[in-house]
Amino acid sequence: MRVAFLGLGAIGAPMASHLARRYDLAVWNRTRARAEAFTQRHGGRIASTPREAVQGAEVVLTCLPTSAEVEALLGGPDGMEAGLAAGALFLDCTSGDPATSRRIAERLAARGVAFADCPVSGGTNGAEAGTLTVMVGADPATFQRAQPVLSAFGRRIEHMGPVGAGCAVKAVNNALLAVNIEAVGEGFAALVKAGVPARKALEVVNASSGRSFVSEVLVPERVLTGAWPQTFRLALLEKDVRIALGLLAETGVHGPVLELVGEVFRRARAELGEDADYLEAIKLVEQQAGATIRG
Ligand code: NDP
């Protein structure tokens, strides 16, 4: 089967590598050098334009920063719409926003192309291992068609509801992640300043009711060690919290905690820039506190 993948970023490239093993894959990336590095390592063909990438493809996958970039790649003479054939399946793995996803779905439906929003969770390690969780928003028939393709990189593939529902769940998930990062950073900076060894405090929290993915995995692997790898841009997490806040506003839910965390991450993005890793939010807490969480 012919498949196209557009957006070979930090998570897109390892996702696409699994597709290259199963399918006849065409790839497109804005920066061509990244596509060249990908095909040298994993095979597949490089397309010069989004239009060329999707021509003849039965399934098209995108993984771009936001839904706005996906929408922007649809139109124009070199855009995806010019190359998509009726009957194709379009799977957007961007952590996008529900409203734009619905707009894209309608636009593609007018051309006979089925759409599903399929954001993923599990990080770059999960993408390498092919064990991502995939949250799908689509009609039931489109979900059935999408499942076998998504299983190339996904272990848990869940149908969350109609188009937009995948993005909504992903945004709330990441808003919770952001809350945890900030709260763990603040709490542990205070514990260190109070003279408690960070590792010992973490071990106890992880055997208690305050534990989370942040305390069980991220802090021990990245903060205590001082490794700070770059796997997921803080700018993208800030975007996810903003999407979650949009969902709260749309549904009339008062959200003081998420609003505050949104503000904290907005400031962190402005201060640390577009390339900083998401966990560097904890570095800002450390700086402000004058304490380092190591051990
Ligand atoms: P990156 O910033 O690493 O990569 C972004 C990709 O989008 C690159 O291929 C980039 O191309 C391309 N791109 C950016 N702007 C444009 C544009 N205007 N037109 C065309 N292409 C563009 O992001 P990630 O791979 O980390 O994230 C992609 C999506 O997956 C995001 O929605 C993110 O929130 C989500 N996600 C990421 C996770 C992670 O751990 N990294 C985990 C789960 C979800 P170029 O190479 O030219 O810059």
Query: Is 170 an active-site residue?
Result: yes
The confidence score (pLDDT) of residue 17 equals 98
Residue 52 CB contacts under 8 Å (≥ 6 apart), including other chains: 26, 28, 78, 83
Question: How many C-beta atoms surround the C-beta of residue 52 within 10 A?
Answer: 18
What per-residue confidence (pLDDT) applies to 82? 98
Query: Residue 36's pLDDT is what?
Result: 98
Q: What pLDDT is recorded for position 161?
A: 98
Cα 71 to chain centroid, rounded: 17
Question: Within its chain, how far is the Cα of 185 from the centroid?
Answer: 22
Q: Which of 133, 232, 274 to mutate to test the pocket of ligand 1 (most atoms within 8 A of CB)?
A: 232
Catalytic residue among 170, 193, 239, 283, which?
170
Determine the distance separating the centroid of ligand 1 and the alpha carbon of 13, expressed in angstroms: 10
For the chain, the DSSP string reads -EEEEE--STTHHHHHHHHHHHSEEEEE-SSHHHHHHHHHHH--EE-SSHHHHHTT-SEEEE--SSHHHHHHTTSSTTSGGGTPPTT-EEEE-S---HHHHHHHHHHHHTTT-EEEE--EESHHHHHHHT-EEEEEES-HHHHHHHHHHHTTTEEEEEEEESTTHHHHHHHHHHHHHHHHHHHHHHHHHHHHHTT--HHHHHHHHTTSTT--HIIIIIIIIIITTT-----SBHHHHHHHHHHHHHHHHHHT---HHHHHHHHHHHHHHHHH-TT-BTTHHHHHHHHHHT-----
Ligand 1 atom 8, closest CA:
9
User: Residue 12 Cα, ligand 1 centroid: separation in angstroms?
Assistant: 7
Distance of CA 174 to the CA centre of its chain: 9
What whole-number percentage of the chain has pLDDT above 70?
100
CA of 224 to the centre of ligand 1 (A): 27
| Protein residue with least CA distance to atom 26, ligand 1 | 10
Predicted model pTM: 0.98
Which amino acid residue places its CA nearest to atom 2 of ligand 1?
A: 9
Is 24 a pocket residue for ligand 1 (Cβ < 6 Å)?
no
pLDDT at residue number 135: 98
| Cβ–ligand 1 contact at 126 (below 6 Å) | no
Out of 6, 95, 236, give the residue to mutate to test ligand 1, the one with the largest number of ligand atoms within 8 Å of its CB.
Answer: 236
120 lines ligand 1 (CB under 6 A): yes
Which pLDDT does position 199 carry in this prediction?
97
Ligand 1 atom having least distance to the Cα of 236: 34
* Ligand 1 centroid to residue 121 C-alpha, Å: 14
Instruction: Specify the residue with its C-alpha closest to ligand 1, atom 17.
Output: 69
Cα-to-centroid distance, 220 and ligand 1 (Å):
26
Low-confidence ranges of the chain (pLDDT < 70): none
10 lines ligand 1 (CB under 6 A): yes
C-beta 231 within 6 A of ligand 1: yes
